[in-house]
Each structure stands twice: as structure tokens, then as C-alpha cells.
Chains A and B, each alone.
Chain A
Amino acid sequence: MFSHDRKRRPLGVGLTALAISAALALTGCAANGGGDGGDGEGDGDGGNLAITFLPKNLGNPYFDTSNAGGEEAIEEFGGTYAEVGPSEASPTSQVSFIQTAAQQGVGGLVVSANDPEAICDALNEARDAGVKVVTFDSDTNPECRDLFINQATAEGIAKSQVDLIAEQIGDEGQIAILSASANATNQNAWIELMEEDLAANHPNIELVETVYGDDDDQTSFDKTAALLQTYPELKGIISPTTVGIAAAARYLSTSEYKGQVALTGLGTPNQMREYVEDGTVTAFALWNPADLGYLAAFATKALIEGEITGEEGDSFDAGKLGEYEVGADGVVLLGDPFVFDAENIGDFDF
């Protein structure tokens, strides 16, 4: 047994060494001759318009919609679209896809980050290799990307919900807020801005209470019921969370308050479709993910072609969406939240 093993070893070890050195030698040679990435696949004038979209995970209807927007834009300007991504939304699983994009020498990478830090180094290595990096939907630290395409500002989100409820209740009466958890940073920022907007511009609307459904369907449902019992005069509810608004709509749709108490907030079309169709909800807001992807693709193109560098004040053309300007910290704002109602909800599937 052992003598047999020992006889065989030298040839086997030799072959391993040969294989490894062959691999290294071949890649080494190619490295000298092949030019260093980036300018490999450049087609057309000046820029390499191969753009890869990397969502948080694949098979997510929200990203299917946003990436379809990106694909539409890339087709418009004649680039090459690709979509890659992990099956589950974990940060380290995004790293290998970022590395692959860098190896492929794509011109641009559009990423929704699973973690603001974990993919930073990989993104910066890709940028060193000549890839333009744009984040959308979910940002990384500003020093890890060229641009962030922001769906909406806190001010825009707060204002659109106050405007919607004011319109639906005739700009007077009692309203309440059904939020997520009491320590959710973004929710609290929005609620504070809503309170300011209400005090300044809607003196006849009274915010009676803010309750917390903890982003849990059943808790949100129960809190809605409690609100309506506590405040019989309640005219409207704002729920700036997709879980809360759906639970509140479910309660309202089967209660005597259906059509009497207005409900608006942030929701997704697939969750809210039946409540819009049965008249429980008139209109609610979110951003349009298709436009977000479309804008991200055009921003990437502008970076690749050197039209912009990501400096504050740079401006670029974004096809059907018009002209956009880069703000502080390399952030481009899509615009005001998009309002979904009975007219347009049928156009969306996410």
C-alpha cells in the first residue's frame, strides 16, 4: 500500500506542478499581451456600453421591474444589457458577481447594495479596473461608487403623503399615522417632516396619534382596529410602510369604515391592487422602480462616455425622463414619489 503510494507520487506531484505553472504562465502571458480590461469590448464611439445590473437578489418582482427599466434604456442607447445576482440577499454573495463583472471588463455596473460596507472593497477594485459603479435603490458608502440614484428624498416622501390625505379628506378633520416600529430611522424622519408640513400648510387637519404596527401584518391590523374605535371622528390614516398600509386596507375593506375613512401611504401595486379596485383606497405613493432603473442606466452611460464624472452640478440627459443634475455626494434624485391610483395600477407588476 505505502510503497505503491510512494512510487506513484513523483509523477503525480510533477503533474500538479505542471498544471499550476501552466495556468499561471498562460494567464501571465495573456496579461502582458491583452491590455488591461476596460477597453476590451468597446463598441461604437468612445465608450464601452456593456452594463450589468446587480440587484439585491434575483426573482424579486421589485427588481424585475427596475431592471426592465434599465434594459429599456440600454436598448435605447444601443448598449449591452446583462443582469446577474445571487439567489438570496446576502452581502458576501454579491461580491463574486462584482468580481466577475470586473473580470468581464464591463463598462458599468448598477448595484443595489445588500450592505453599505461589505461590498465596498470589491466595488472599488472594479472601479480600479475601469468599471463605472452606480448604486440604485440601496446605497453604499459614497466613496465606494461613482453615483447613487436615489428614488426619493425624505421631504418628497413626507409631502406626497400629506398632499394625498389632504386631498382625500377635503383638507380638514382628524387623521392618524400607522408606522412601522418606534425606532425605525427612516419612518421617524418622514413622520417628523409630515408633522411640520401639516402644521405649516394644513391648519385644519389634526394629527391625533401615531401608532406602531412593528411591520407585522397582524399587529398593524389590530392597531388599525383600535385606532378606529378610539377615534370615531377619524377621517384618514397615513401608513408610510408597505406592511402597514396593506394590513390597514385589509381591515378597512371588510369594515363599516370602508369608503368612509381614507387611507394612503407607501405601498406596492401588487399588495394594494384589490383595495384600489374595491374602492377602499383611492391613491397611494411609492417610486416607480422602472423609472429608477431607466435613470440608473442613463447615468451609467453618461459616466462611461465621460459626459459626467459624478461631481455635484454635472448634468446629463436621461432619455424620456429628461435632464438630470448630480447633487451633493454624487446623488441623483429620481424625483417626487409616484402616485398609484385606479387609472395606472394595472400597468405595474411588482
Chain B
Amino acid sequence: MTATASETRATRTYTAHAQPAWRRALLTRETAVIVLLMIVIAVALAVVPNFDSPLTVTYLLRDIAPILLIALPMTLIIITEEIDLSVASIVGLSSVMTGILTEAGWPFAVAAITAVLVGAVAGAINGFLITVVGLPSLAVTIGTLALFRGIAVGLLGTTAITEFPEFWTDLAKDNIPGTPIPGIMIPFMVLAVAFGVLLHFTPFGRSLYAIGLNKEAAAFSGIDVGRTKFLLFLMSGTVSGFAGVYFTLLYSNARGDNATGMELSVIAAVLLGGVSIFGGRGALHGVIAGVLLIGILGSALRLAGITSDIINVITGVLLVLSVVSASLLAWLRRRRISAIGKKKGRSATPVESP
């Protein structure tokens, strides 16, 4: 499996020089998602009544903010061919901690920081089990998904804590003055840029691609695979903890079952944004476009009066198509490349020649 995937990638790198830069850019998954996003926005503006209201922008950004936040570390994790299914449970746990500590009379800022730390600890537990004990992340995070959710629901039962200082709930909800853009977008932008720089401009980021492509080769070239993965799961837990505080303030509601199922929205958006589930491939701008695409599509369909069941079906079809189209594109490229190879009378793909 890994061997085939790296062959495909090697092939693409090799032949990349055969086409002009603009054409290569247009053929990437990221570009396809961005074009699709622009089409959806254009159609929604033209067809859906009230889609062009500032309220739509506000609600949309507010609702997708936690997904955007968690998608940042998730992108890095999936690039290393791992996955974190426990993120939504960490959101729930952090939400419950925020509520319980606030109710116990802690100053809100201290309660919130503690809740983020709880998220970090949860992420560290995932990281420990995956890198030190050496278990697969899929198995570990399925387990901790149930574990963290269980603790969250166990701590608070079926009740909800709904009293939070107005200053903080306003901070989570209010717009940047004079715009329909919620203030939460500012920390998000900072984080997104930080993750973008980390992934695309640092040796650490490059090492993630290397790990995703070939773990053994990465280890031989001096990358500490275990430490890198531990850091990623720690980041994921911390960001999920932060998202939990935000979620609590947004709905003025700390509940054990908050954000149930959100891990699926996050992973769907990451994959739709062009990150390969087999690791080693993906870019953060594609993921941001993927999150926006799912969010805008859902918002436009709801506004058009489509029921949530059908919206789920449409998002599901989109996701399956995006995964299928990735394989289809790769297959088409391989065919074209071998055709070019035959025309030139020599193989342009030494990796692939038998």
C-alpha cells in the first residue's frame, strides 16, 4: 500500500517539470476544492435568499470556528498517517471542566486555562499510548474517545451548567466592531498562520511529510518519529481543549455531550481539503477551504429550507466523491505519463517501469 502510494507521488514529482506552473497548480486537489468553494458561494449568492446577509457570515464563522481550530492539528496528524478520533470527546471534557470550575467559584480565566490544560493532558495520554506503548492511533483514540466522553458525562451527569460571566460569553460571540466577523476569528487566524508556518516552512513540518511517506526512511534520516508524533497529539489535545472553552461560551452551556460527533466533521473537512488519509500529502490552505466548503454548503442548504438529513447525505456524497476523485486523478496521471513515456521512446517514470 505504502509502496504504491509513494511511487505515485514520486512519479508526479518527476514529471512536474513537463508542465507550466499554472497548469500544475490547477491540477492540485487544493485548487479543485477552492474552485468548488467559489462555485458554491457564487451559486448560493445567486439562488439562496438571505444568504448575502451579514448575519449569515457571523453565524457561519461562529459555527465552523471549533471545526477550523481542531482541523489545524488534525491536518498535521493525518499527514503523518495517524488519526485522532478523540478530539470531540476532549471538547466535551474541556467544556465540562470549564462549567464545573466556574460553578465552584473559580475566576473564569483560571477555569478556562485549567480546561485547556485538561485537554493538553488528554492529548498527552493519547501521545503516550501511541508513541511510548506503540499502539496504533486509530485503536488508541477510539478507546480514549469513549474514555474522555465517559469522564465528561460522568462528572456532570445529564445536567448542564449555563451560568457564565457575560464578559466572556460576549467575548466569544461578539463581532470585530464594524464587521460581521466574530472576534474568535482573530485567535483562529493567529493559530492558522502559526500552523501554516510550522507545516510548510520549518524542518519540523517537512519531517511530517517524510514520516507520512515512509516512517522507516524518516527515522533513518534522523527524525525522532516518536517525539514528533507525541508533540502532534499534545497539540491536538490542547487545541481541542481551547475549542471546548469556546464551545461552552458560545452556547453558554457546559454539557458532557457537547460536540458529540464533531470529530467526523473535522476529519471530513480535512480529507475534502486534499489531505491524503494515507499520509504524506496535503496543505493547510486546502483544509481551510475544505472546512469553509462544508460549512457554507450546510448553511446555504439550511437557509434554502433543506432538512438536515438531506444535508448529511449531500456532505457524505461530496466526501466520498472527493476521496474517489483523488484516486481517479492519480490513475489518470499515471496513464498520461506512461503515454508520454511511450511517445518519447523512453520511460519517463523509471520508478514505474517493470
In the complex the two chains form, is A103's CB within 8 Å of B53's CB? Answer: yes
Asked if B308 and A27 sit within 8 Å, CB to CB, the answer is no
Question: Given contacts A4-B12, A115-B253, is CB(A22)–CB(B53) below 8 Å?
Answer: no
> How far does the alpha carbon of A90 sit from the alpha carbon of B50 in the complex, in Å?
27
Beta-carbon contact of B54 and A19 below 8 Å:
no
Given contacts A1-B9, A5-B200, A30-B52, contact A22 B21 (CB under 8 A): no
Q: Are A40 and B50 in contact (CB under 8 A)?
A: yes
Given A12-B285, A24-B57, A28-B180, also A91-B52 (CB < 8 A): no
CB distance from B268 to the nearest CB of A (A): 17
Q: Chain A's nearest CB lies how many Å from the CB of B166?
A: 10
Question: In the complex, are the beta carbons of B200 and A12 less than 8 A apart?
Answer: no
Asked if A27 and B257 make an inter-chain contact with CB atoms under 8 angstroms apart, the answer reads no
Please, which residue of chain B has its CB at the minimum distance from the CB of A91? B253
Whether A9 lies near B200 (C-beta < 8 A) is yes
CB nearest neighbor in B for A26: B45
91-128 of chain A: CB within 8 A of chain B: 91-92, 95-97, 99-100, 102-105, 115, 117-118, 120-121
Interface size on B, residues (CB 8 A): 59
A15 near B55 with CB under 8 A, answer no
Against A, the Cβ 8 Å flags (1 = close, 0 = not) of B8-26 are 0110110010000110110
Report B53 CB to chain A, min CB distance, Å: 6
Asked if B30 is at the interface of the complex by the 8 Å CB criterion, the answer is yes
Decide yes or no: A1 and B13 within 8 Å by CB, A16-B289, A104-B50 being known contacts. yes
Nearest B residue to A29 via CB reads: B52
Stretch touching chain A among B33-41, B80-88, B111-119, B126-134: B33-41
Say yes or no for B241: interface residue by CB 8 A criterion. Answer: no
Query: CA A121 – CA B249 in complex, angstroms?
Result: 11
Contact B162 A118 (CB under 8 A): yes
Contacts of A90 in B (CB 8 A): 257
A-B contact count (CB 8 A): 152
| A99, closest chain B residue (CB) | B59
Contact A118 B253, beta carbon cutoff 8 Å = yes
Which residues of A have CB within 8 Å of B299?
100
Given contacts A31-B54, A105-B50, contact A117 B45 (CB under 8 A): no
Say whether B302 contacts A37, CB under 8 Å: no
CA distance A8 to B31 in the complex (A): 10
A13 contacts the other chain (CB 8 A): yes
| B258 interface hit (Cβ, 8 Å) | yes
Q: Contact check, A19 vs B160: say whether CB atoms are below 8 A apart.
A: no
Q: A2-B209, A4-B12, A118-B253 are in contact. Are A27 and B180 (CB under 8 A)?
A: yes
Evaluate contact between B162 and A19: CB separation under 8 angstroms: no
* A87: interface (CB < 8 Å): yes
- Are B31 and A12 in contact, CB atoms less than 8 angstroms apart? yes
Query: With an 8 A cutoff between CB atoms, is B181 at the interface?
Result: yes
Contact digits for B177-217, partner A, Cβ 8 Å, 1 yes 0 no: 00111000000000000000000100000100100010000
Provide the residues of chain B in CB contact with A37, threshold 8 Å.
50, 53, 55
* Distance of A318 Cα from B184 Cα, bound (Å): 44
In whole angstroms, what is the CA distance A58 to B310 when docked? 14
Q: Please determine whether A1 and B253 come into contact, CB atoms closer than 8 angstroms.
A: no
Q: In chain A, what residue has the closest Cβ to B305? A: A82
Report whether A22 and B305 are in contact in the complex, using a CB–CB cutoff of 8 Å: no
**Quick check: A103 and B303 within 8 Å, CB to CB?**
yes
A320 at interface (Cβ–Cβ under 8 A)?
no
- Chain B residues with CB under 8 Å of A103's CB are 50, 53, 55-56, 59, 303
Interface string of A33-57 (1 = CB under 8 A from B): 0101100100000000000000000
Chain A residue nearest to B253 (CB atoms) is A118
- The answer to whether the Cβ of A23 comes within 8 Å of any Cβ in the partner chain is yes
Chain A residues whose C-beta falls within 8 Å of the C-beta of B54 in the assembled complex: 27-28, 31, 36
The answer to whether the Cβ of A327 comes within 8 Å of any Cβ in the partner chain is no
Interface size class of A (residues with CB under 8 A): 35 or more
A335 CB–B CB distance under 8 Å? no
Residues of B contacting A20 in the complex (Cβ-Cβ under 8 angstroms) = 292
| Contact present for A117 and B13 (CB under 8 Å) | no
B334 within 8 A of A: no
**0/1 interface trace, chain B 202-245, chain A, CB 8 Å (1 if under):** 00001001000100000000000000000000000000000000
Report A-chain residues with C-beta under 8 Å of the C-beta of B50.
37, 40, 103-105
Q: How far is the CA of A92 from the CA of B9 in the complex (A)?
A: 43
Contact B53 A31 (CB under 8 A): yes
- Residue B327 at the chain A interface, CB threshold 8 Å: no
* A117 & B292 in contact (Cβ 8 Å cutoff): no
Q: Determine if A92 and B253 form an interchain contact, defined as CB atoms under 8 angstroms apart.
A: yes
Most buried by B among A4, A103, A105: A103
What residue in chain B is nearest A105 (Cβ atoms)? B50
- Which residue of B56, B160, B307 contacts A118 across the interface (Cβ within 8 Å)? B160
Does A261 belong to the interface (CB within 8 Å)? no
What residues of A have a CB within 8 angstroms of the CB of B302 in the complex? Answer: 96-97, 100
How far does the alpha carbon of A295 sit from the alpha carbon of B37 in the complex, in Å?
A: 44
Q: Given the complex, which residues of B lie within 8 Å of A105, measured CB to CB?
A: 50, 53
**Can you name 24 A-B residue pairings with CB atoms under 8 Å?**
A5-B200, A6-B200, A8-B25, A12-B28, A12-B285, A23-B57, A26-B45, A27-B53, A28-B180, A37-B50, A37-B55, A40-B49, A87-B309, A91-B255, A92-B255, A95-B251, A99-B63, A104-B49, A105-B50, A117-B160, A117-B253, A118-B160, A118-B162, A121-B252
B: residues with CB less than 8 A from A are: 9-10, 12-13, 16, 21-22, 24-25, 28, 30-31, 34-35, 37-38, 41, 45, 49-50, 52-57, 59, 63, 160, 162, 169, 173, 179-181, 200, 206, 209, 213, 251-253, 255, 257-258, 283, 285-286, 288-289, 292, 296, 299, 302-303, 305, 307-309
6 closest A-B pairs by CB: A30-B52, A117-B162, A11-B25, A31-B54, A16-B285, A118-B253
